Amino acid sequence: MSIYQEKVLPYLVDLVCSSKSASKQRKKVVPYAEGEVLEVGVGSGLNFPFYDVQKITKIWALEPSKGMQVLAKKAPRDPCLNIEFITLSSEELPFDEASIDTIVITYVLCTIPDVRIALQQMFKVLKPGGKLLFSEHGRAPDANIKFLQNLVNPFWRRVAGGCNLNRHIPNLLKEAGFILQKDERMYLPGFRFFSYNYWGTAVKS
């Protein structure tokens, strides 16, 4: 990876993703994680403070960027949380089939190069009846905003670490086989072309 990706981008992502509105969204989903948890794209560890330590046996913190991991290992957390970092991409999950109780994804599906393969992998390693908790930004419902997202996306992806503005998160989850139990949507404060938020719960039937 380039110096920009490993030394500069992690701090920029941490700054943007630690906003008050993003933290509020994390708080809506992360506390429901339980058992053996896989957090995909742990980033700078911004979810760690929201885990309910009484419900968690272990967190597998998947993060391919070592620059992000440096920040995540310094992030505030309950000292009783059992966290193990894994430096792999989400398209190659190193877990047995049906071995994970909960998967947590927050503001990561936008950046995964082959998001469909990654979601198929998540579906495979999640236990039957297991939960996938998500909060993600993506394609807006308004035609003019969607047009702007599509227009800006090629440039945005190059400067924002591969982040895509226009992915439809619920559709991607359904394509991978997940059943949406809760599917909430709204604009968060900020520029509308990158502030449309999806959050909720999906399960493996």
Domain boundaries, the chain: 3-203
pLDDT in tens, the chain (205 residues): 577 777 788 888 888 888 999 999 999 999 999 999 999 999 999 999 999 999 999 999 999 999 999 999 999 999 999 999 999 999 989 999 999 999 999 999 999 999 999 999 999 999 999 999 999 999 999 999 999 999 999 999 998 889 999 999 999 999 999 999 999 999 999 999 999 999 999 999 8
Q: Identify the CATH number of the domain defined by range 3-203.
A: 3.40.50.150
Closest CA to 32 of 126, 103, 122: 103
Whether 122 contacts 199, CB under 8 Å: no
